[in-house]
Amino acid sequence: MSTETIIERCEALHEDLYFTAAREWKDAAPGRHVIGHLPIYVPRELIHAAGMLPLGIYGGGDNMEVIQGDAYYQSYICRIPRSTMELALSGRLDFVEGMLFPSICDVIRNLSGVWKLTQPDVYVRYVDLPQNYKSEVGGSFYVEEMREVLAGLEGISGRKVTNDDLLNSIRVYNYNRDLVRKLYQSRVEKPWNIPVTEVYLLMRAGMVLPVEEHNEMLESYLVAASETERPQRDNTRVILNGLFCEQPPLGLIKSIELSGCYVVDDDFILINRWLRENVDDSGDALTNLSEAFLEYSVRTSATYEPERELKGQHLLESIKNSGAEGVIFSAPSFCDPALLEQPMLVDILDDHNIPNIQFKYAENTGQMQPIREQAGSFADSIKLWS
Amino acid sequence: MSDSKKKAQVDLSKDVQKDQSQILQKEMIRGNFDKLARADQNPDDKVVYTFVPGNLNELVHCFDVVGNYPEVNALQSAMQKKTGAYVMEAERSGQDEDVCTYVKADLGMMRRGNIGPSGQKVAEPDLLLLSYTGCFTFMKWFELLRHEYKCETTMLHVPYQGDGEITKHMRDYVVKQLKEETIPALERVSGVKFDIDRLRENLRESAKAEEDLVKVLETAKLRPSPIDSYFGAIYYVGPMFSAFRGTPEATAYYKTLWAEVEDRVKRGLGPVTPEGEMGEERYRLVVEGPPNYTSMRDFWKMFYDEGAVVVASTYTKVGGNYEFGFRHDPDNPLETLADYCFNCYTNYNLPQRTDMLEHYMDEYQADGLLINSIKSCNSFSAGQLLMMREIEKRTGKPAAFVETDLVDPRYFSASNVKNRLESYFQMIDQKRQAA
Ligand code: SF4
Ligand code: SF4
């Protein structure tokens, strides 16, 4: 299969706000259930082990008109909760029986309550991810949180989830993590061969497809990409940072690339790359998931950095590993987590003389020209001065 | 001069006891700023910064350190109209216009020499006690301060009541963090060994003060209400929400306050406003959300000029909620600190918050609900429109929505707010007539 065919499929999945693929999966056999989750991370292994499909919900994008959702949110709150509400109120999520809201920020936290009040038939769970990274403290808490989520899922399916089910799911997701890492690594090696829009669409596809199908898709893409040689341009290698929740329109991502940048790292759809290493697939599964969370979680603005000296180090490391020449901070308007983190990261980059720029977007930003121009001048200035 | 104004002057001049609680509070606040200023000169005095929701004052006091509350500095500076400049200063140094203005007011104050609302220098922190309760922004706020001050920081993660309950594993998690993170950090910074009996003693003091505060707030069930439970109660909760809970001074303050309010109850008086005693009570309101501090006097005036009194508010529960029976319990010292944190208002889920508003509407016989939605504050604001509609549906009473900011004067439009309130009061009148 060619990269074009695969990406066409991803594009269709991305545009489909009725989540037809997930609906079809559910209808294909009796007793199947779909569980939605918001950014930034939930242990999808739990949902998978319960025989259910995790469905990543990342707002309505720029193709959906938000009519009813606006009645729920003031103008000074980011867009993702209102478009997510629109998805629900317009019946697009009527096949989703459970929703998990991870602890990324107060907007998504409160959205869990909005869901409880407006969707009384749906299982709603706020997933409090630990901000304490000691095994016996944050770890034990997280194991209990996962146990409660599992009990909720078992309540829907009427089936007990065993440790073996969980270990099996860990294996399937470990393979997914391997493939995602490989994809990102291949892009670092040959960014001209693996454009950012394609990586993005592949990551998004992982939000709506069963993981097994996503694994096949990634395998095929990696093979196809390795067999294709696209023309190499004199682009600047950059990292995108701040796009972990509300998603930019695809056009914006394309614009950055078209402006002369090769994106060599990003924080899109972080759930796919949240655990930097694989989870142990023997022994007690919940303990393993918890330990992996404590040890291998990516650092992002939704998490606390206990060591002052380590603040921003993940970004410096990523710059080193990917050979990036600059960082583009791109955050959703009104996003406290991304926007409050940014000045600290900018300071750290400035201390290391790493060029960076900042701009804001919304999922329905329509004007790409200014962003393209800003990114273009950024890329040019790096080429000129470095 | 109207009769009611004359009466107010007469009553105020007689009301010596009222002044007493205010004087006590002023002295307490001044005393703490003096300590913070002294600490700036004396490195042996250790300073701990922390937040109002989830503040562990009883514990902090076991270590002979001085507490500083950046949120309190921000709101007091706002009342002195200083925060406009602070916010701009923070924006000039890289903070985005969209983010919480409390954070920016604090960062701006720091950049301008950290001169607190008392006009004295506030000492730099030796420890940032990041009690992460009910608000995500707290975490970034203290990371930003740590970035500037390069000081020790300790995080206490308080789980959210996502399912509207406190489970054993939530409590165990907080207690373990207290034992393994918070207490060792306080010991390290202060050089004082933790003494659980001292903590118990402080908790005992807290419980006494909490008892009196609840009595004060519950008088608003009476007609007329002797207090305003928003504009007035913001002052009443001051000592409880900041550096004083658990001290004998706070206990004395609440005892005095209760005596004053009890006296007003006996005399059948309404609330005291900045312009004297309020006239006839015409509207009884429940308010959700923080106030605007930059134009607080003007904002309050829009209410009392119309005879509107706030009989219950959620903001006055943000630093702890005692009205449903919780009291700090000296017999379970660490567990009670955990339970206190869980019960700070913004740590409740939206259904709990809505139920609480409904309860207020009924118990305090309110005519309506007013939401003051704060541009800065996702923790409070996200979901408020739904809460408003739910309350209208459940109670059949009218609700209104105004938008302002805590400390950024650019987001307080007096004419818009006044128009909105006037039409709201008319709406209540119409509802009454229709009934
Ligand atoms: S975009 Fe930012 S503020 Fe909005 S829900 Fe996501 S993390 Fe929260
Ligand atoms: S977001 Fe709200 S609760 Fe949090 S610090 Fe800002 S004003 Fe306070």
pLDDT in tens, A32-58: 999 999 999 999 999 999 999 999 999
The CA distance from A164 to A161, in Å, is 8
Contacts of A245 in chain B (CB under 8 A): none
CATH C-level class of A19-163: alpha beta
Q: What pLDDT was estimated at residue B1?
A: 38
Please report the DSSP string for B120-161 in residue order.
SBPPPPSEEEEEE-S-THHHHHHHHHHHHH--EEEEEE---B
Residues 267-326 of A with CB under 8 A from B: 301, 304-306, 308, 311
Q: Give the number of other CB atoms < 10 A from CB of residue A52.
A: 24
Contacts of B180 in chain A (CB under 8 A): 134, 137
Beta strands A326-332 and A236-241 are parallel
The number of the ligand 1 atom at minimal distance from the alpha carbon of A336 is 3
The CA distance from B103 to B101, in Å, is 5
Q: Which of A233, A131, A225, A135 lies closest to A192 in space, CA to CA?
A: A233
The average pLDDT across B366-395 equals: 97
Q: Is the pLDDT of residue B157 over 70?
A: yes
Paired tokens of A207: 């939000």
Chain A's closest residue to B179, CA to CA, is: A137
Residue-range domain boundaries for chain A: 19-163
Are B160 and B135 in contact, with CB atoms under 8 Å apart?
Answer: no
Residue percentage of chain A with pLDDT more than 70 = 100
Between A386 and B129, the higher pLDDT residue: B129
Please report the DSSP string for A163-212 in residue order.
HHHHHHHHHHHHHHHHHHHHHHHHHHH-TTTS-HHHHHHHHHHHHHS-HH
Chain B's closest residue to A304, CA to CA, is: B139
Within 13 Å, how many C-alpha atoms sit on residue B353's CB side?
36
- Identify any residues that bridge with A98 across adjacent strands, giving them in sequence order: A35, A123
The average pLDDT across B163-190 equals: 98
Q: Which ligand lies nearest to the CA atom of residue A103 in the structure?
A: 1
Encode pLDDT of A3-35 as tens digits. Answer: 999 999 999 999 999 999 999 999 999 999 999
Cβ separation of B155 and A306 shorter than 8 Å?
yes
Mutation test residue for ligand 2: of B51, B379, B408, the one with most atoms within 8 Å of CB: B379
Ligand 1 pocket check for A61: Cβ under 6 Å: no
The average pLDDT across B139-168 equals: 98
The CA distance from A97 to A36, in Å, is 8
Q: Is B396 left (phi over 0), alpha (psi -120 to 50) or beta?
A: left
The CA distance from B64 to A43, in Å, is 43
Total residue count of chain B as it appears in this document: 435
Are B392 and B273 in contact, with CB atoms under 8 Å apart?
Answer: no
* Candidate from B98, B103, B147 with C-beta closest to A344: B147
Q: What pLDDT was estimated at residue A162?
A: 98
Residue percentage of chain A with pLDDT more than 90 = 97
Q: What pLDDT was estimated at residue B221?
A: 98
Encode pLDDT of A118-162 as tens digits. Answer: 999 999 999 999 999 999 999 999 999 999 999 999 999 999 999
Cβ separation of A109 and B162 shorter than 8 Å?
yes
Q: Which ligand lies nearest to the CA atom of residue A76 in the structure?
A: 1
Helix, strand, or coil (residue B201): helix
Q: Is the pLDDT of residue B316 over 70?
A: yes
Interface mutation vs chain B, best among A101, A119, A141, most B CBs within 10 Å: A141
CA distance A48 to chain B (A): 23
Q: Ligand 2: residues within 6 Å at CB? A: B 100, 102, 135, 137-138, 346, 376-380, 406
Q: What pLDDT was estimated at residue A176?
A: 98
Rounded to the nearest integer, the mean pLDDT of chain B is: 95
Q: What pLDDT was estimated at residue B47?
A: 98
Cβ separation of A74 and B135 shorter than 8 Å?
no
Interface mutation vs chain A, best among B97, B288, B350, most A CBs within 10 Å: B350
Q: Which residue's alpha carbon is at the smallest distance from atom 1 of ligand 2?
A: B377
CA angle A90, A155, A108 (to 5 degrees): 45
Contacts of B403 in chain A (CB under 8 A): 74, 76
The CA distance from B380 to B427, in Å, is 25
Contacts of B172 in chain A (CB under 8 A): 140-141
Interface mutation vs chain A, best among B139, B345, B373, B375, most A CBs within 10 Å: B139
Are B132 and A132 in contact, with CB atoms under 8 Å apart?
Answer: no
CA distance B67 to chain A (A): 22
Contacts of A144 in chain B (CB under 8 A): 167, 169
Q: Is the pLDDT of residue B15 over 60?
A: no
Which helix (DSSP H) or strand (DSSP E) does residue B67 occupy? strand B66-68
Question: In angstroms, how far is CA B248 from the centroid of its own chain?
Answer: 20
* Candidate from A73, A101, A106 with C-beta closest to B135: A106
Encode pLDDT of B256-312 as tens digits. Answer: 999 999 999 999 999 999 999 999 999 999 999 999 999 999 999 999 999 999 999
Q: Which of B234, B229, B231 lies closest to B217 in space, CA to CA?
A: B229
Rounded to the nearest integer, the mean pLDDT of chain A is: 97
CA distance B279 to chain A (A): 35
Paired tokens of B209: 């003060």
pLDDT band, residue B132 (cuts 50/70/90)? very high
Q: What pLDDT was estimated at residue B270?
A: 96
The number of the ligand 2 atom at minimal distance from the alpha carbon of B141 is 5
Q: Give the number of other CB atoms < 10 A from CB of residue A185.
A: 12
Phi and psi of B371, rounded to 5°? Answer: -110, 125
Contacts of A111 in chain B (CB under 8 A): 382-383
Q: What pLDDT was estimated at residue B359?
A: 98
Encode pLDDT of B321-340 as tens digits. Answer: 999 999 999 999 999 999 99
Are B89 and B103 in contact, with CB atoms under 8 Å apart?
Answer: no
pLDDT band, residue A386 (cuts 50/70/90)? low
The average pLDDT across A196-216 equals: 98
Task: Please give the radius of gyration of chain A, using alpha carbons only, rounded to the nearest integer.
Answer: 20
Residues 140-169 of A with CB under 8 A from B: 140-141, 144-145, 148
Encode pLDDT of B408-435 as tens digits. Answer: 999 999 999 999 999 999 999 999 888 7
**Cis preceding linkage at B224, omega within 30:** yes
The average pLDDT across A242-270 equals: 96
Cβ separation of A110 and B382 shorter than 8 Å?
yes
Encode pLDDT of B61-73 as tens digits. Answer: 999 999 999 999 9
Q: Give the number of other CB atoms < 10 A from CB of residue A20.
A: 12
Q: What pLDDT was estimated at residue B156?
A: 98
The average pLDDT across B180-207 equals: 98
Contacts of B385 in chain A (CB under 8 A): 71-74
Judge whether A336 is closer than 8 Å to chain B, CB to CB: yes
Judge whether A356 is closer than 8 Å to chain B, CB to CB: no
Residue A99: C-alpha distances to residues A116, A170, B120 (Å):
10, 21, 50
Q: Which residue's alpha carbon is at the smallest distance from atom 6 of ligand 1?
A: A245
The CA distance from B211 to B244, in Å, is 15
The CA distance from B47 to B43, in Å, is 9
ipTM for the predicted complex comes to: 0.97
Q: What pLDDT was estimated at residue B362?
A: 98
Are B155 and A305 in contact, with CB atoms under 8 Å apart?
Answer: no
Helix, strand, or coil (residue A62): coil
Ligand 1 pocket check for A337: Cβ under 6 Å: yes
Encode pLDDT of A76-108 as tens digits. Answer: 999 999 999 999 999 999 999 999 999 999 999
